[in-house]
């Protein structure tokens, strides 16, 4: 979507802000429904949730491909694909944690998964740019549906190690409160460039709704009933710090992707394929560092890897920020994007490992949903916050302001990583 901004806005007679809204709503739907999606894996089974999620995602891709306007595009891409992703992502992390019981083996498995996820996020601009330039942005969504069909066929032999439990209760009110609170928070950020009063009101109401959610789940626990999330998940200091780093990592990756893509296309006039090619630097960085996750985990502490990752990412943002002055060529963006790719790739796996390994197997459904929710909330906030700053004027100055905001956020993640203990003990099966 990031490299299709100009093509989609012209074809659907919308604006850059309209495309930004579609991207942010997609990420927001994922974040809002990731906790319920993780919880449903216990009731429906991990493989069934995975398959249903893929089918819903595929339907959304086809709807997006034929959308006549922004509204239908949001329905297909933001709603259907967002719901599908929320159902299919938690089973991946739950199954990995169940099948790999010690820190090193999990690091290897999560390294492959997060590496491929990071490469997918970074390679998307290149693939999307190639398809958009050669055929149409609509063909890129058809390509998504084809990939989904292939994954469904490949997953037929997937075996769920734990049978589904249809008798498990599902906290519907908790799901509604958590989703509504997250939606209000991000929509408040999105409205910052139009109405500060509305922004403050949405943020305040969102905070109130999330507070009500916390009191609700605590009340259910006191009555001996199963809530959407156990409050014990929030009492683990190491896990909480790991969740902060996850949120910031995805905020940085998606925020940078949107800001640089929009700047290159709208301000510098690059087409989709040119923008996609430039992002291959980030793809290469993520691939190299993620595939080395197992070797790095054996040699260095998880905390050390996260600190190194944030340091590299901050250096990459500094390089991109330096490009505000003058009129640099396209490849001048490559070193900064490479450093960001290397940094994010180095710390994605340790952050996931720290969080998932902080809890026993019977809590993996809950913590996986919470972990993915926090990560995707970071993605939506990255696009919302940095994107809102950027599109306020769409000039070099707004680009610089957006990159500064991302750099400041990176320091928050660095501070959280510094507080994580050097030695961690995984919960074995």
pLDDT-wise least confident of 77-81, 347-351, 378-382, 399-403: 378-382
The answer to whether residue 393 scores a pLDDT higher than 80 is no
User: What DSSP letter does each residue of 1-61 carry, written as one string?
Assistant: -GGGHHHHHHHTT--HHHHHHHHHHHHHHHHHHHHHHHHHHHHH-HHHHHHHHHHHHHHHH
Q: In whole angstroms, what is the distance from residue 353 CA to residue 107 CA?
A: 6
* pLDDT > 80? residue 382: no
b/e burial code for range 301-333 (CB count within 10 A of at least 16 → b): ebbbbbbbbbbbbbbbbebbbebbeeeeeeeeb
Full-model pTM: 0.72
Alpha-carbon distances, residue 291 vs 126, 157, 248, 306 (angstroms): 20, 25, 21, 15
What's the pLDDT at 396?
60
For position 390, what pLDDT does the model report?
Answer: 67
- Rounded to the nearest integer, the mean pLDDT of the chain is 81
Decide which of 208 and 401 is more confident: 208
Supply the pLDDT for residue 428: 40
């Amino acid at each position: 979507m990031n490299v299709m901004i100009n093509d989609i806005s012209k074809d659907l007679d919308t604006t850059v802000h309209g495309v930004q809204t579609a991207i942010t709503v997609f990420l927001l739907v994922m974040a809002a429904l990731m906790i319920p999606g993780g919880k449903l894996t216990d009731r429906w089974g991990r493989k069934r949730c995975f398959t249903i999620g893929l089918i819903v995602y595929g339907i959304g891709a086809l709807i997006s491909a034929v959308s006549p306007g922004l509204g239908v595009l949001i329905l297909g891409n933001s709603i259907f694909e967002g719901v599908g992703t929320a159902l299919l992502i938690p089973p991946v992390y739950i199954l990995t944690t169940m099948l790999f019981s010690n820190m090193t083996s999990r690091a290897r498995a999560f390294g492959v998964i997060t590496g491929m996820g990071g490469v997918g996020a970074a390679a998307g601009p290149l693939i999307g740019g190639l398809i958009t330039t050669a055929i149409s942005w609509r063909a890129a969504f058809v390509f998504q549906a084809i990939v989904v069909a292939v994954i469904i066929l490949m997953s037929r032999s997937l075996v769920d190690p734990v049978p589904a439990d249809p008798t498990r209760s599902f906290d519907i009110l908790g799901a509604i409160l958590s989703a509504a609170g997250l939606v209000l928070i991000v929509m408040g950020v999105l409205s910052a460039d139009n109405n500060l009063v509305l922004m403050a009101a949405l943020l305040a109401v969102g905070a109130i709704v999330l507070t009500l959610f916390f009191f609700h789940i605590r009340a259910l626990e006191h009555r001996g009933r199963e809530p959407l999330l156990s409050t014990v998940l929030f009492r683990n200091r190491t896990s909480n710090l790991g969740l902060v780093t996850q949120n910031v990592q995805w905020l940085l990756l998606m925020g940078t992707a949107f800001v640089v893509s929009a700047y290159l296309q709208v301000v510098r006039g690059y087409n989709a394929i040119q923008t996609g090619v430039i992002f291959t630097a980030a793809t290469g960085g993520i691939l190299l560092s993620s595939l080395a996750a197992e070797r790095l985990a054996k040699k260095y502490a998880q905390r050390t890897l996260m600190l190194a990752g944030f340091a590299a990412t901050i250096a990459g943002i500094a390089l991109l920020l330096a490009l505000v002055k003058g009129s640099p060529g396209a490849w001048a963006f490559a070193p900064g994007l490479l450093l960001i790719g290397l940094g994010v790739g180095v710390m994605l796996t340790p952050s996931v490992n720290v969080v998932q390994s902080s809890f026993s197997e019977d809590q993996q459904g809950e913590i996986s949903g919470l972990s993915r929710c926090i990560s995707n909330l970071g993605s939506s906030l990255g696009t919302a916050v940095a994107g809102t700053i950027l599109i306020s004027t769409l000039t070099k100055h707004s680009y610089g302001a957006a990159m500064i905001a991302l750099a400041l956020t990176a320091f928050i993640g660095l501070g959280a990583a510094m507080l994580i203990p050097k030695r961690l003990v995984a919960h074995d099966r």
